[in-house]
Structure 1
Amino acid sequence: MDFLPEAINQYVENNSEKEPQLLNELNHETWEKVLNPRMLSGHFQGRVLSMFSHMIQPENILEIGTYTGYSALCLAEGLQKRGSIHTIDINEELTSLVKKYIAKANLSAVIHCYTGNALDIIPSLNQKFDIVFIDADKTNYSNYYNLVFDKVRQGGYIIADNVLWSGKVITPEENRDDDTKALVEYSKMVMKDKRVQPLLLPIRDGLMIARKL
C-alpha cells in the first residue's frame, strides 16, 4: 500500500538512487511469475533498506520472510566484508527463484536460506544480529520479536514491515481482521518495551524500527 499520490511516489523514485539492474530484473520476474507480487519491497523501499544497511554496516542480518529475495539482496549491500544474512521463508516453491538471483549477485556464500517455520528455525540460530527484518505472517510478529530479541546485539535494530497495513490499523476495532489486530498489538508492544527506542516510519506500508538499548 502506498499512501502518497502516484506522482509523488514517482518523484521520490526519480530523486533516489536508481534501482540496480539485477534487482530490476528480479522485480519484473516477481511481477510476471509469482503470486501476490505486491509483497515485494520494490524500488524505493529497497533503497531505504540498502541505506539502513550501509549506515549500520552489519555483520549479521536475520530476515524473517524471504519471499523472492529482493529485500535480502538490498540488505546485503551494506554488509561488512565477512558478513552474512540468514533468511527464512515457509514457501519452498520460491526457493529456486531466490537462489537463482542470489547466485547472480555472487552472494551464495553470504546469504543463507532456510525453508520452514521461522518459529522453529530461529531458536537454532546462534549468531548475534545487527539487523532483524520481519516481513512474514502478521499474526506472529510479536512472537518473532520475542524470539529474536536476545539474539539482537545492543544497539542493533528490529525492523518490521507492513505495520500500517494499508491503513487498516486505524479502523474501528470491531472491524479489524486478525492480521490487523496482530499488527496493532505489535506496535503497542514495541512502544511499551523500555528496552528499545521505537520509530514508526510511514514508508510504503509502514516500517516499525526498534533500536535495542
Structure 2
Amino acid sequence: MYSPDDAQRYADHHTTPESPLLARLNRETHVQLLHARMLSGHAQGRLLSMISHMIRPRRVLELGTFTGYSALCLAEGLAEDGRLHTIEQNPELETRIRRYVREAGEEARLQLHIGNARDILPTLAEIWDLVFIDADKINNDTYYELVLPQVRPGGFLLIDNVLWGGKVLDEYPVKLSDKDTHAVRAFNDKVQADERVENVFLPLRDGLFLVRKR
C-alpha cells in the first residue's frame, strides 16, 4: 500500500521541472528563512503556471507574496499586455522579492506592493481575471469579500492552505483557542455554500480551492 508521500514523490517526478531560477529561489527560501513551507514549491507552482497559461489573464492579483515564487509562476501565463499585482505585508522580504523579479525579467509586468492588503486593495482600480489568496488565514473571508466584486464574471480565485494541515477535517478535535483552524473551516463552508461561485477543492499539498465567479 502506497503512502501519500510516495504518491507525492511520484507526482513530482512526473511533473515538468521548475526552472533553474525557481529552483534556486526554492532552495534559498528553505535554507535562509523560517516558515519556508509557506512557499508554493514545485508541484503547486507548476499548477499555478498551468492555470495561468490556460486563462491567459490580463490582470492577476496575489495576496501574500512571501519570497515571490508563486508570483513568478503566475506571471508565466500572463497575456502579452498582462500585469500582476502582488501584496506582501513583511517589508523584510522586499529586497529578495525584487531581486528575483529582476532576474526573471518581470519588472515591467509584476508590481510589488508592501503593506497591509486591506489598505492596498481599495487603491487598485482593476478588474481581476485571476486572484491567488495566500495570506494570513484568519482573514481569508475578509480578502475574499474585498476582491470578489472586482473579479470579472467567469474569473477565477485560488485560495491556498484550505486543508490547514488536516485540521479542518471533521474528525480532528480543535481547541476553541485555535482561531486559525476555526477560521479556515468556516471559510471553506462559506465557499461551498456561496451561490455566487462554483468551486473545486483540490487536495494538493495543503489544499487549494479553485473557485470560478458565476
TM-score, length of structure 2 as denominator length? 0.95
* Kept in 2: contact 1:168–1:176 (CA 8 A): no
Of structures 1 and 2, the one with the larger relative CO (CA 8 A, separation 6+) is: 1
Structure 2 unpaired stretches of 5+: none
Q: Indicate yes or no: 2:123 matched with 1:124.
A: yes
How far apart are residue 35 of structure 1 and its match?
1.6
Secondary structure of the 2:121 match is helix
Q: Indicate yes or no: 2:214 matched with 1:204.
A: no
- Rounded Cα–Cα distance in structure 2 between residues aligned with 1:100 and 1:84: 18
Equivalent residue number for residue 100 of structure 1: 99
Secondary structure of the 1:204 match is coil
- Rounded Cα–Cα distance in structure 2 between residues aligned with 1:124 and 1:190: 26
When structure 1 is superposed on structure 2, of 70-79 and 7-16 the one drifting more is 7-16
How far apart are residue 174 of structure 1 and its match?
4.2
How far apart are residue 176 of structure 1 and its match?
6.7
Correspondence list, 1:28-177, <5 A:
28-170=27-169, 171-174=172-175, 177=178
Deviations 1:103-154 (A, max 9, x none): 0010001110001100111111101111110001011000000000111011
Which runs of structure 1 show a deviation greater than 4 angstroms over 4 or more consecutive aligned residues?
A: 173-176
- Rounded Cα–Cα distance in structure 2 between residues aligned with 1:175 and 1:44: 33
* Kept in 1: contact 2:26–2:69 (CA 8 A): yes
Secondary structure of the 2:168 match is helix
Secondary structure of the 1:169 match is coil
* Kept in 2: contact 1:159–1:207 (CA 8 A): yes
- Rounded Cα–Cα distance in structure 1 between residues aligned with 2:9 and 2:137: 28
TM-score, length of structure 1 as denominator length? 0.96
- Rounded Cα–Cα distance in structure 2 between residues aligned with 1:153 and 1:159: 14
- Rounded Cα–Cα distance in structure 2 between residues aligned with 1:206 and 1:26: 22
- Rounded Cα–Cα distance in structure 2 between residues aligned with 1:208 and 1:186: 11
How far apart are residue 193 of structure 1 and its match?
1.1
User: Which residue identity lines up with residue 162 of structure 1 in the other structure?
Assistant: N
When structure 1 is superposed on structure 2, of 175-184 and 72-81 the one drifting more is 175-184
Q: Indicate yes or no: 2:176 matched with 1:182.
A: no
